[in-house]
Amino acid sequence: MGRDTFQDPSQQDLYSGLIRLHILHHAAEEGIFGLGMIEELARHGYRLSPGTLYPILHRLEEKGMLRSFARNEAGKIRRIYRATPAGRQALRSAKEKVRELFGELFELAPAAERRMR
Ligand SMILES: [Zn+2]
- Tell me how far the alpha carbon of residue 116 lies from the centroid of ligand 1, in angstroms: 32
Distance CA 78, CA 51 (A): 16
| Residue at 1 is within a domain | no
Give Cα 113 to chain centroid, integer Å: 30
Would 38 be classed as within a structural domain? yes
Instruction: Quote the ligand 1 centre to 22 CA distance (angstroms).
Output: 6
* Residues paired with residue 80 on neighbouring β-strands, in sequence order: 69
Q: Are 48 and 19 in contact (CB under 8 A)?
A: yes
Q: Which domain holds residue 43?
A: 9-116
Instruction: Confirm whether 51 is domain-assigned.
Output: yes
> Does 63 map to a domain?
yes
Residue 112 domain flag: yes
Q: How many domains does the chain have?
A: 1
- 113 CA → ligand 1 middle, Å: 30
Output the pLDDT for position 58. Answer: 97
Give me the CATH number covering residue 90: 1.10.10.10
Is the C-alpha dihedral spanning 16, 18, 19, 23 positive or negative?
positive
Residue 3 lies in a domain: no
38-92 tens-digit pLDDT: 999 999 999 999 999 999 999 999 999 999 999 998 898 999 999 999 999 999 9
110 falls within a domain: yes
Gap from CA of 86 to ligand 1 centroid (Å): 20
Tell me, in angstroms, the distance from the centre of ligand 1 to residue 39's CA.
Answer: 9
Q: Is the pLDDT of residue 36 over 60?
A: yes
